[in-house]
Structure 1
Amino acid sequence: MDRFHRIFPALALCLLPLAHADTRQPQPCDDALLASLAAQLGQQDWTLPHERGDESLVAAACKPWPDDPTLSVVTLAYRDAGDTTPAGERDLKWLVAKVDTQSGQLRERYDDYLGEDAALEIDAGSLWLDTARYHLAPDVRAFGVLVRSVARGASCPDAGFNELLTLVVPEGPRLRPVFSTYLYAWTTVKGTSCVMDSDFQSEQANLTLGLGPKQAHGYADLVVTAHVRAGRQEPVLRKVSTTLRYDGKHYPFDQFSTFWMRETQP
């Protein structure tokens, strides 16, 4: 399946903001951990990803698990040795996992693919782990994986999106995605982006997640809040929120969310 073509209880909403990509702290992986993972995945000769992302291991992020110092969470984008498909056209293997920090042994995992195209291209800094306090149930703590594209995209777009966040929860030896959406989006309000005139106006939204005071099917509600601006450095024009209820399998939500746009607001 290609996902790219395709506190508890609380009295008030608890916001769990994700910093912008430019200010996120690095999440490097230890050489020994990468070597162990490569062996388990049938790969070899992995080195730390370079900025261009042209090695077998294209991107990697590792972070200690807050609830247990003996565990870490990792995410990798990689391809088989000898695959010379150019960047922007690759079908990269994608791993999200919990591992034993000392041995690198996989504990729980989720495997998928990142199919690159005009809108998605991965480099060494494209993956980032979010271990905020996503306590969806008393014994369930989710964590997030952020995928940031470096693709140039269309030459004259009227909208855009980036920073796809996916939340996963443990399910036996597997990790299961329960929520996914882009945390950054923009849209044209007036005019055309390619025409440099005074009529062009756009709005952008940065999304944050919080946990609501209610629950459904044993999982807390998710509250998605859009902070809407006329530009990255502009003040917030408005905040728009929507509440998601777990349906027993996932939180139904559009990856390309539009609830914050003017014409879609109630």
Structure 2
Amino acid sequence: MTLKSGWMGCAALCSLAMTTQAFAECEKPPFYGDFGYSVCKDWPAYPGLTITALSQFESGYSASDSGPEGKYDLDLAVVSAGVSQPLATYRKSAAFESDAIEYKDLQLDTARYKLTPELRAFGVLVTFSGSSRVNPVSEKMLSLFVKEGDKLRPVLDKLLIDEYGGEWDGSCAGELYHHTRTVDIGKTSSHGYADLIVKTVTTRDVGKGEGDACESKSTTAKPVLTTLRYDGKSYVLPQGFKGLQ
């Protein structure tokens, strides 16, 4: 479940126990500010556990229909029904910045990211997009987290899994690109963590001419496989694979 809020949440009046109970029941985590996103999802890899994510507006206000421009924090938790405190947490201030390219969505990804025989990661997906029709831009980024004791630790930071952009005249002439990436678990490992195999598919659309004379062509390149290796702290991303937000 995901919620975008443009009003003051009632959570400031709620106790920690009530908030934790809401998390455990996979209800939308409450807001303490005016704008942001909240989401929760059961973790199939660990029955009985729920992952929650809350990203709230921090600073730099600019009123608009879609929300303020500025910085957003990120709070993650793994919770269990009947337990009064989260089992593990993560917090980062100014995790994202929304400006001309706006912060549009927050999701959780519980695919089978099995990094060791005993350890599975979960994903946090964030989406940003611009409003320009002739210079479109859209980015969806994946970060992976693992549970270590009572902490959640990021091991993959903002891998671009969907990227769209380019420049055209809004009618025909110009060039647009679209990169899509999928992540699989490799059979090899680095520093004890499985390597990640990223498959990139790129589509390009090129248009020339005007009106009835418009000619457009779409081409899809052969998929490219890239191996991401863990360096002991995180997976290393090649140039162009990491989102800027």
How does the TM-score come out when normalised to structure 1? 0.65
Counterpart in the other structure of 2:37? 59
Higher strand residue share = 2
**Greater RCO structure (CA 8 Å; 6+ sep):** 1
Give 1:54 deviation, angstroms: 11
1:97 aligns with 2:71: no
Q: Please tell me whether the aligned partners of residues 135 and 141 of structure 1 are also in contact (alpha carbons under 8 angstroms).
A: yes
Distance change >3 Å, CA 85–CA 54, structure 1 → 2: farther
1:223 aligns with 2:200: no
Deviations 1:200-240 (A, max 9, x none): 23221111101111001100000111122236xx7844211
Look up the match of 2:208: none
Paired residues, number: 209
Q: Are the counterparts in 1 of residues 75 and 90 from structure 2 also a CA contact under 8 Å? A: yes
Q: Aligned equivalents of 1:173 and 1:254: distance in 2? A: 31
- Identity, % of aligned positions: 29
Contact 2:129 2:137 survives alignment (8 Å): no
Encode CA deviations 1:60-83: one digit per residue, 9 max, x unaligned. 111111133321011111247xx8
How far is the alpha carbon of 1:56 from its aligned partner?
3.5
Structure 2 counterpart of 1:182, from 157, 160, 170? 160
**Of 89, 100, 108, which residue of structure 2 is paired with 1:109?**
89
Unaligned runs of 5+ in 2: 4-9, 206-217
Secondary structure of the 1:66 match is coil
- RMSD, aligned CA: 3.6
Match of residue 162 from structure 1: 139
Aligned partner of 2:226 in structure 1 is 242
| Cα distance between partner residues in 1 of 2:124 and 2:73 | 15
Deviation at 1:150, TM superposition (A): 4.8
Task: Return the offset for 1:147.
Answer: 0.7
Q: 2:169 aligns with which of 184, 194, 198?
A: 194
Contact in 2 for aligned 1:205/1:228 (Cα 8 Å): yes
Stretches of structure 1 that go unaligned for 5 or more consecutive residues are 1-25, 29-33, 259-266
Give distance in 1, aligned partners of 2:199 and 2:68: 31
CA contact (8 A) 2:2 2:28 kept: no
Q: Supply the AA of the counterpart residue of 1:251.
A: Y
Shift of 1:140: 1.1
1:127 maps onto 2:102 in alignment: no
Larger radius of gyration: 2
Q: Report the 3-state secondary structure (helix = DSSP H, G, I; strand = E; otherwise coil) of the residue aligned with 1:238.
A: coil
Give me the whole-angstrom Cα distance separating, in 2, the residues matched to 1:48 and 1:216: 37
Report how far residue 257 of structure 1 moved: 2.1
**1:239 aligned partner, one-letter code:** P
| 1:101-127 Cα deviation digits (max 9, x unpaired) | 3456311111113222222324xxx11
